Amino acid sequence: MFQHGQVFKLKTKGSDGQPLWAYRYRLEGRGSERPQVGGFATREEAEKALRKVLDRLGLRPDPASTQVVSRARHAELLTRRERARSELASVLQVEPLLVALTDSTTRGCQMVLAGLGLESEDEVVTTDQEHFGLLGPLYASGARARRVKRCR
């Protein structure tokens, strides 16, 4: 998946009757020009062409937003993220490598649950007030989830 770059199926079909694919992307933020190129035989061809264009333009998806940014801005964001990780680690009195920064609480819950390697014989006790960002991946893990009434 590309942020501010999109691969999609066209309504038009090729001479073989198969759907054609296209891509479009934004040069800057919302409301900016959206060049579009189409006529690819497969989704993979369209994705490869989009990556090539973004690379040629020196654009990379910004991990902290949905905007495409320059390589210099991307490097700056990575530096700032590492600084934030180090400062948070200092507050928590742990090594920075033990701190994970994610784009959402849901993604953080998914990462933790995936790391636990839960299986069908495992049981997890949670409350009836838990957010679906935790419950969804928990149910998907196959583990038995026991929900207790709200704790006081």
Round to whole Å and give the CA distance between 55 and 39: 20
Interval 15-37: pLDDT, tens: 888 888 888 877 665 566 667 77
Tokens of 140: 């998907």
Residue 18 CB partners (closer than 8 Å, separation 6+): 41
Q: 26-35: long-range contacts at Cβ-Cβ below 8 A with a sequence spacing of 24 or more? A: 26/67, 26/68, 27/57, 27/68, 28/67, 28/68, 29/67
Q: Which of 55 and 79 is assigned the larger pLDDT?
A: 79
Which pTM does this prediction carry? 0.45
Q: Which CATH architecture has domain 5-59?
A: 2-Layer Sandwich (3.30)
Computed over every residue of the chain, the mean pLDDT equals 79
pLDDT at res. 90: 94
Rounded average pLDDT over 47-68: 66
pLDDT at res. 70: 65
